[in-house]
């Protein structure tokens, strides 16, 4: 009973039918040299740090540099590290920040120093997910990187400016990896279909299926290969489920002497076939390859990958593009970014808050109803929730994106705040001060104040601003939307209020 599991293992090893699972396609197709790398050509120019680390180009008078690879998933960070690992004269050590700690880093540093001094080897340390290391863990890397006991190759999907300590950034080169172009992903898929490490030309893919797979991968090579492997499995299962058609090259049993004669004649003709007909047979065999169709790829991958991290760069980049599209009155782009955030799982309440801010910052009094729509949308989102909240948010986005724009109110408050912080605005005029308490009149508070509703049009000619801010215009309406009329009215209002002040000047 105690040996039950080991007995099962022995049975598997002794069973001729047992087949060990193959490595994933993305692992089997991992490039082995710089020449096989797909994309990132901006980092692979002659003399570049990556080519030096990979041993393709010599380091010249300088030694190899530590690098930080920053890019989204599936752009080749781990692949580049494995290519570097194949360079001669180097010892390659791989750590993951998810499982490694300071002790592991120090152990690598000690061994690297020993290998350098005693064996003349340079240790290349690949540290995946470096953004998961805290400050103390990253600080442990500094002596080895600074003294070049190790050449650090660190990979991260987070912005290193926020996730990597400054001393380590200053001692390393930051290399930014870009999402793969569609042509790169298509070439990668084609290589996987033909390469012996992949499907060894046993499968063929329709162009529509290839286009679908490339589009849905979103520039992620690993996702493209994973989806290709899944689509191949779907196609393979579908082919096995189809009834086998009779082989035209296999004749049925002859039932008469005449038929036997015909079979003999056919065999004689077959034996006298030339080489060109053999080649045609090979082509016919190729035509029998399993075909991956659009239906197969759709079953393998039914939704495009969304590059979005609610705590990372994509969160800020997409909301920035969303707000700027609203500000720029491109309603179609604004709806696209709204959909992208919602599909990626962004909190709809966060989006609603940003719409409310935009309604005041970018629209203001050019369309006073925009803020009302934004506030109503935010309240509706709280009450309804997803997925129906997308309808409310779409309504609000269309309103604010198509509304006339003005940042006059936004600029006005900012200028007023700047003056207050600069110390301008020396006191409150005496006639505006609180006069409700005993003794206030003896201090002169409220003396000479004109009640606005006692004046014509309810606008009195009197001073409201502090002495040093008299005549300062913070709010300057534009000629857009409703502000056109507001500007005309405001000019008349200021003329009445400041008439006495202008007369003194």
Tell me the per-residue pLDDT of 471-496, one tens digit each, with 9 for 90 and over: 899 999 999 999 999 999 999 999 98
Residue 340: CA count within 13 A, CB half-sphere: 22
Q: Does residue 381 contact residue 343 with C-beta atoms inside 8 Å?
A: no
Q: 401 with 377: CB under 8 angstroms?
A: no
The model's confidence at residue 21, banded by pLDDT at 50, 70 and 90, is low
pLDDT at 65: 81
Question: Regarding predicted confidence, which is higher, 300 or 204?
Answer: 204
Q: How far is CA 348 from CA 43, 292, 345, 388, 402, in A?
A: 38, 39, 8, 11, 21
d(CA 486, CA 490): 6
- Structure tokens belonging to residue 62: 């300088």
Of 139-153, 239-253, 297-311, the range with the lowest mean pLDDT is 239-253
pLDDT of 287: 57
Position 377 scores a pLDDT of 95
Alpha helices in 65-118 (DSSP H): 77-85, 102-114
Q: What value does the mean pLDDT of the chain take?
A: 81
Mean pLDDT is lowest, of 70-84, 405-419, 448-462, for 70-84
Q: What percent of the chain has pLDDT over 70?
A: 82
Residue position matching structure tokens 């399993």:
290
Q: Is the pLDDT of residue 230 over 50?
A: yes
CA torsion sign for 388, 393, 396, 402 is negative
Stronger pLDDT, 333 or 464, i.e. the higher one: 333
pLDDT beyond 60 at 300: yes
Nearest partner of 231 among 286, 284, 193, judged by Cα:
193
* 308's tokens: 């979005």
What confidence category does residue 221 fall into, taking pLDDT thresholds of 50, 70 and 90? Answer: confident
CB 475 within 8 A of CB 409: yes
Q: Please report the pLDDT score of residue 304 as a whole number.
A: 56
Q: Give yes or no for residue 264 having a pLDDT over 70.
A: no
Mean pLDDT confidence for 156-181: 88
Average pLDDT, integer, range 305-309: 58
- Given a contact cutoff of 8 angstroms between Cβ atoms, the answer to whether 386 and 342 are in contact is yes
Reported in sequence order, the residue ranges of 21-106 that DSSP labels E, i.e. its strands, are 67-70, 90-96
Query: Is pLDDT larger for residue 353 or for residue 9?
Result: 353
387 preceded by cis ω (within 30°)? yes
Nearest alpha carbon to residue 229 among 275, 197, 183: 197
Question: What does the alpha-carbon distance between residue 370 and residue 405 come to, in Å, rounded to a whole number?
Answer: 10
- Would you report the helix, strand and coil content of the chain in percent, each value rounded to 5? 55, 5, 40
Sheet strand arrangement including 173-176: 90-96, 122-128, 150-156, 67-70, 173-176
* Mean pLDDT calculated for residue range 121-143: 87
Tens digits of residue pLDDT in 367-423: 999 999 999 999 999 898 888 999 999 999 999 999 999 999 999 999 999 999 988
pLDDT at 267 over 80: no
Percent above pLDDT 90 for the chain: 25
Q: What is the DSSP letter of 175?
A: E
How would residue 60 be classed by pLDDT, with cut points 50, 70 and 90?
A: low
Residues 98-121 have a mean pLDDT of 85
pLDDT the model gives residue 234? 87
Indicate if the pLDDT at residue 130 is higher than 80. Answer: yes
pLDDT at 16 over 60: no
Which one, of 228, 219, 227, lies nearest residue 72 by Cα?
A: 219
Mean pLDDT on 178-186 = 88
Identify whether the C-beta of residue 145 lies closer than 8 Å to the C-beta of residue 181.
no
Inform me whether the pLDDT recorded for 184 exceeds 60.
yes
Which tops the pLDDT comparison, 370 or 219? Answer: 370
Q: Are 78 and 111 in contact (CB under 8 A)?
A: no
Decide if pLDDT at 90 tops 80.
no
pLDDT of 158 strictly over 80? yes
Q: Residue 6: what pLDDT?
A: 43
């Amino acid at each position: 009973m105690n040996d039950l599991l080991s007995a099962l293992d022995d049975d598997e090893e002794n069973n001729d039918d047992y087949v060990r699972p193959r490595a994933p396609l993305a692992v089997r197709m991992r490039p082995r040299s710089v020449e096989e790398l797909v994309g990132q050509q901006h980092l692979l120019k002659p003399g570049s740090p990556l080519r030096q680390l990979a041993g393709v180009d010599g380091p010249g008078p300088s030694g190899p540099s530590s690098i930080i690879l920053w890019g989204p998933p599936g752009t080749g960070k781990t692949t580049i590290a494995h290519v570097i690992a194949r360079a001669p004269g180097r010892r390659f050590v791989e750590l993951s920040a998810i499982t490694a700690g300071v002790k592991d880093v120090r152990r690598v540093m000690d061994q690297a120093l020993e290998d350098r001094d005693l064996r003349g080897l340079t240790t290349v340390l690949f540290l995946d997910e470096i953004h998961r290391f805290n400050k103390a863990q990253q600080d442990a890397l500094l002596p080895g990187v600074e003294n070049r006991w190790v050449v650090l190759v660190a990979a991260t999907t987070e912005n290193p400016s926020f996730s990597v300590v400054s001393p380590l950034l200053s001692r390393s080169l930051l290399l930014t990896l870009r999402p793969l172009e569609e042509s790169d992903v298509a070439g990668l898929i084609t290589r996987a279909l033909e390469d012996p490490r992949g499907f060894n030309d046993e499968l063929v893919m329709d162009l529509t299926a290839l286009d679908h797979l490339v589009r849905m991968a979103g520039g992620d090579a690993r996702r493209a290969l994973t989806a290709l492997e899944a689509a191949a499995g779907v196609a393979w299962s579908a082919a096995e489920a189809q009834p086998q058609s009779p082989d035209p090259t296999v004749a049925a049993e002859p039932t008469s002497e005449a038929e036997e004669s015909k079979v003999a004649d056919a065999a004689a003709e077959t034996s006298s076939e030339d080489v060109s007909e053999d080649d045609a047979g090979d082509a016919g065999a190729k035509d029998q390859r399993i075909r991956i169709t659009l239906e197969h790829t759709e079953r393998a991958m039914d939704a495009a990958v969304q590059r979005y991290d609610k705590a990372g760069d994509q969160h800020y980049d997409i909301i920035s593009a969303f707000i700027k599209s609203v500000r720029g009155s491109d309603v179609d782009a604004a709806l696209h970014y709204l959909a992208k955030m919602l599909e990626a799982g962004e909190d709809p309440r966060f989006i609603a808050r940003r719409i409310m801010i935009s309604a005041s910052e970018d629209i203001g009094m050019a369309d006073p109803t925009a803020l009302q729509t934004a506030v109503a949308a935010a309240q509706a989102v709280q009450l309804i929730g997803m997925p129906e909240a997308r309808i409310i948010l779409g309504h609000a986005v269309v309103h604010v994106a198509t509304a006339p724009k003005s940042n006059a109110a936004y600029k006005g408050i900012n200028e007023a705040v700047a003056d207050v912080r600069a110390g301008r605005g020396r006191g409150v005029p005496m006639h505006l001060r609180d006069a409700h308490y005993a003794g206030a009149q003896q201090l002169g508070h409220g003396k000479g104040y004109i009640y606005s509703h006692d004046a014509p049009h309810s606008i009195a000619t009197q001073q409201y601003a502090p002495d040093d801010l008299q005549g300062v215009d913070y709010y300057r309406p534009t000629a857009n939307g409703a502000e056109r009329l507001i500007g005309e009215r405001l000019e008349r209002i200021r003329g009445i209020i400041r008439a006495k002040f202008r007369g003194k000047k």
